[in-house]
Amino acid sequence: MSHKTIAVLDESELKDGEMKQVDFEGEGKVLLSRLGDKVHATSAFCTHYGAPLAKGVLTADGRVVCPWHGACFNVCTGDIEDAPAPTALHSFKAEVVNGKIQVTADPSATLSKNKSRQPKLLAAGSNVPVGQGKGVVIVGGGSGAFMAIESLREHGYNGPITVLSKEHHAPIDRTKLNKALITDASKLEWRPTAELRSKFGVDFREGTEVSGVDLGAKEVIIGGTQERVPYETLVLATGGVSRRLPIPGKDLSNVFTLRGVEDAQKIDAAVKEGKKLVVIGSSFISMELVVAVTSRKLASIDVVGQEEFPFEMVLGKQVGAGIKKFHESKGVKFHMESKVEKIIPSESDPSVASAVVVTSGSGQSTTLEADVVVMGVGVAPATGFLKNSKGFEKVVDNSGAVHVDEYLKVKGLENVYAIAGDIALYPQPGTGESRRIEHWNVAGNQGRAVGKTIAEGKGQPFVKIPVFWSAQGQQLRYCGVGAGFDDIIIDGNPEELKFAAYYAKKGSIVAVASMQKDPLVSKASELLRLGLMPSASEIKGGKDILTIDISTVSAKPKVA
C-alpha cells in the first residue's frame, strides 16, 4: 500500500458546511467536507449503490446523507451511521498547508470500485468457538439480522451469535427482487455466509425453520427435529409473509406472490414475451414488478387496484395520477376502484389460472385473460411460530405484530427484542403512536439499534426517520411517516414526474416525497430527525427546505 499526498483544492474554495468531490491522481475521487475550520476527507461514493455523496446532505454533527436511499456516514471517520449502507467509507488524512487542502491516501482506495472498507469491529468474533455457548440468537435472516450482526461486532459484542434463517442463502438486498426481478441469490447477498462465519464469528444456519420459543428455558425450538437452541438474548427478525386474497383460485399454480428468491425465479420463468400478466394490487411491490417486466414484450399487463389511483393511500391522488399516466404510456391497463372476485382455472388444465374476474365499484364485471397472476397485496408478520409459545400471548396481537418499547425490547419479556418493521410495533418518536412500518431500511436501522443496545448494555432508542424509494419512470424518494395525512402541498407537476410533495397532519409536515428533486428528501429526513422541519403554513408560503442551514458551525447548537 503506497500512500501519496496531493494538494486537491484551494482552501478558499471550500466553505464551512460545504462538500466537494475532488480528483485524486487520475481516476481517483475524494469527498471533502468542511465543518468549521476542520476539513475531512473520505471516499466519494455511497457504499450502497454508489451515489455521489457530494450531492447529498451534510450536517453540523458530522453526518453525510446519501442523496438516493438514506444511507448515512460519519464524515470524520467514514463509519456507518444509518442503513442501508452495508460497508463503511475510507477516511483519509486531510490538512491545510499554505492555503491548499492536502489529502494523503492510497490512490487505489480513492477509486469508485474500491469505495468501501469493512466496518471497524471492536470484536471480530466470539470468545468461544462458533456453534458453542449461548449468546445472541437471531431468528430470521434478512436485512435486520444482517445489520444487527454488523452492529453487535462494531460495538464490541464478543459473545456467540447464532442466526436461524429459513432461507437457503445469506441475507440479501431484497429490494432488488421486485425492483429488478434478479433471481440469483449470490448476486443479491450482502455478504456470503462463509464471510459471516469467518469474519464475524456467526453460526449462520440456513434452511432452519423455527417452531417456537421456550421463554422459561431460554431456548428456541427448531421445527421437525425439535432441537433446542439456547440463548442469553433473543432477537426476533422474521420479517413478513406475503398475503393472498381469500378468493377462489388463489392457490392455482401460476398465481404467485413475491417475497423471496424462489418467488422471483418462478415469476421470471413465467413472464415471457407474448404472455398476459394480471397484477392484483397497485402499491409498491406490484408496481415495481410492473416496471421490471414492462420491456418484456408481454401481450398485456393489467393492474387491479382498490383505490382510484395507484399508491393513493401513501402518496395521494395527484402523485398517484401522475404515476398512473406514466404506466399507461407504457401500455399498462388499470382497473381501479375494483375488487377481484375470483381466479378462473383453465378448462384444459384446472391447476392453472386462465382469467381473473374483476368487479368495478359500479358493479360491472370484467374478465381479464391471464397466463400469469401476481398478488401484491401486502405482507403479514411472520410470527405464527409465537402463537403457541407461552409468554407471548399479551405481546403478539391479532395481526401478528409484536409489541415493543422504544428500545425495541418486547414488552414484559427479559432479553427479547423484535426488529424489522414487518413484525415490530413500536412507538413512533415524537407522537408515541404505535407503528409497524414495512420499509426495508427500517428493518436495517432497527437491527443496528438493537445490536448497539445489546453490545453496550444500555438502551439505544429507535428514532430513525423511515426512508423508502421506488423506480416509477423516475426515482421516487420518500421519508417520514405520512399515515393519516390531512393535507398535501405539491411543488411541481406529478404528471411530469418532477415534483416535491409535503404531507401534513394537523399543520405539521410529517412526510416528504419527491421525483427529480434530489437531495430534497435526504434534507427532509434530517430536518425531521432534528425537529427542524418547517410547518405546513411555511411550506405553503414558499419556504425552501434546501436553504435551511444545518451544516455550518452556526447551525451546530440546534443540530446537536
pLDDT at 467 over 80: yes
Q: In what order do the strands lie in the sheet with 202-205?
A: 202-205, 161-164, 136-139, 233-236, 416-418
Give the pairing type, strands 498-505 and 487-493: antiparallel
Write the DSSP symbol of residue 282.
Answer: -
pLDDT at 430 over 90: no
Given this model, what pLDDT does residue 123 score? 84
Superfamily in which the 4-117 domain is placed by CATH = Rieske [2Fe-2S] iron-sulphur domain (2.102.10.10)
Q: What is the mean pLDDT of residues 509-523?
A: 98
pLDDT at 1 over 70: no
Q: Do domains 135-239+382-456 and 248-376 have the same CATH topology?
A: yes
Percent of the chain beyond pLDDT 70? 100
Structure confidence at residue 560 as a pLDDT band (50, 70, 90): confident
Q: In what order do the strands lie in the sheet with 38-43?
A: 4-10, 100-105, 91-97, 38-43, 28-35, 19-24
Fold annotation for 248-376: FAD/NAD(P)-binding domain (3.50.50)
CA dist 472 and 94 (Å) reads 40
Backbone angles phi, psi at 209, to 5 degrees: -95, 125
pTM for this one? Answer: 0.95
The kind and range of the H/E element at 521 are helix 520-530
Each residue's pLDDT tens digit, 309-337:
999 999 999 999 999 999 999 999 999 99
Answer whether CATH 3.50.50.60 is correct for domain 135-239+382-456.
yes
Structure confidence at residue 255 as a pLDDT band (50, 70, 90): very high
Residue spans of beta strands (DSSP E) within 16-135: 19-24, 28-35, 38-43, 57-58, 63-65, 72-74, 80-82, 88-89, 91-97, 100-105, 116-117
Q: What is the mean pLDDT of residues 177-193?
A: 93
CA dist 61 and 555 (Å) reads 9
Residue spans of the domains in the chain: they are 4-117, 135-239+382-456, 248-376, 474-555
Given this model, what pLDDT does residue 126 score? 77
Each residue's pLDDT tens digit, 12-57:
999 999 999 999 998 999 999 999 999 999 999 999 999 999 999 9
Mean pLDDT of the residues in the chain: 95
Given this model, what pLDDT does residue 269 score? 97
pLDDT at 2 over 90: no
Answer whether CATH 3.40.640.10 is correct for domain 474-555.
no
pLDDT at 128 over 90: no
CA dist 518 and 312 (Å) reads 22
**How many alpha carbons lie under 13 Å from residue 96 in its C-beta half-sphere?**
13
Q: Grid coordinates representing 62?
A: 458530522
